[in-house]
Chain A
Amino acid sequence: MSAYSKNATIYNDRECLIKALNEMGYTNEMIELHEGEGAQLIDYVGRATTYLDKTGDKANIIVRRKFVGGAANDLGFKREADGTYSAIVSAYDRGKHNPKWMDGLKRSYTEARTHKEAKRQGLKFYWMQVVNGKKVIKYLAA
């Protein structure tokens, strides 16, 4: 099945979302960036889909199906009016992009966004370690 569904996320920083996708195995060369209303998503048989939008399912950040896997469909993130990105994942690809994978993406995004905000605030990285499965990051302030 290639039917797409869209899920809201808190991702509001394109740079950090791309870093998170990198952490999850999709290199910059595999990621397409599109401004405005985005670009058309394509399913596993090469067909432009219309599950979410009668004029065509579109996304602003796209990993094309050839990078997702064998009979996969494109993976997309659509920029919404509030500045957040919604994840657009096909039913078939929820085997790969399952809740565990999505949690990993969110962890990576949160870490990247944390470092970016710390840098913006002039905080100095102190140390980072994993404690009981949680990543603990410490910064020093002047």
Chain B
Amino acid sequence: MKIVTVTIDEKGDADVVLEGFAGKGCAAITEGFVKAHGKSVSGVQHTADYNKPCLTKTKLQQKG
């Protein structure tokens, strides 16, 4: 099962965790959320797991 979990903290900042995705499919979804939350796509970093089944966590830090 592929699950996207978004956690929004008290300040309105968000974490995105993807489970069950493989490689580039994972990155595409992450980048979509990064764009949506106003952070540059260049802020995405791929880990060594990029070519493995995907389990990744991205923190979306926002100003304002």
Determine whether the beta carbon of A137 is less than 8 Å from that of B63: no
Least Cβ–Cβ distance between A2 and chain B, in angstroms: 22
Q: State which of A103, A116, A138 has its C-beta within 8 Å of the C-beta of B4.
A: A138
A82 to B38, CA, bound (A): 11
Q: Which residues of A are at the interface with B, using a C-beta cutoff of 8 A? A: 7-13, 84, 87, 102-103, 105-111, 113-114, 116-118, 120-121, 123, 126, 133-142
Which B residues are CB-close (under 8 A) to A123? 4, 29
Interface mask (B1-42 → A, CB under 8 Å = 1, otherwise 0): 111111111111110000011000000010011011111000
**Interface pair B64/A8, CB less than 8 Å apart:** yes
Alpha-carbon separation in the docked complex, A110 to B61 (Å): 11
Interface size on B, residues (CB 8 A): 27
Contact between chains at A116 and B62 (CB < 8 Å)? no
Given known contacts A106-B11, A113-B37, what 12 new A-B pairs fall within 8 Å (CB)? A10-B63, A102-B64, A107-B11, A110-B14, A114-B6, A117-B33, A118-B6, A123-B29, A139-B5, A141-B4, A141-B21, A141-B29
